[in-house]
């Protein structure tokens, strides 16, 4: 994935424009949905990592662990400061 993204970035950066715009929109939503922007961003980045691990078979967690991870992330996002 890194190679594909790097190739797109260096050979034709416009290929990433749609993806960058969508991620910027999501990040804006995370920062403005009423929860702590830091916690929401941490959850988003962790979820991106989980997706990446699953998509490329890079030691993805089993279903039980994955469910526990998502629960922990959601609990962390909902915690009061």
pLDDT tens for the chain, 81 residues: list them: 667 667 767 777 777 788 889 999 999 998 898 889 999 899 999 999 998 899 888 899 999 999 999 999 989 888 765
Q: What is the predicted pLDDT for the residue at 81?
A: 56
Q: How far is CA 76 from CA 37, 61, 80, in A?
A: 12, 19, 9
Q: In this structure, how many other beta carbons lie within 10 angstroms of the beta carbon of residue 23?
A: 13
Backbone angles phi, psi at 60, to 5 degrees: -70, 150
């Amino acid at each position: 994935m890194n190679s594909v993204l790097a190739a797109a970035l260096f050979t034709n950066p416009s290929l990433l424009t749609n993806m960058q715009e969508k991620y910027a929109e999501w990040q804006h939503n995370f920062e403005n949905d009423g929860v702590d922007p830091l916690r929401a961003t941490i959850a988003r980045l962790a979820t991106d990592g989980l997706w990446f691990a699953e998509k490329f078979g890079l030691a993805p967690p089993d279903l039980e662990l994955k469910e526990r991870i998502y629960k922990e992330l959601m609990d962390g996002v909902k915690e009061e400061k």
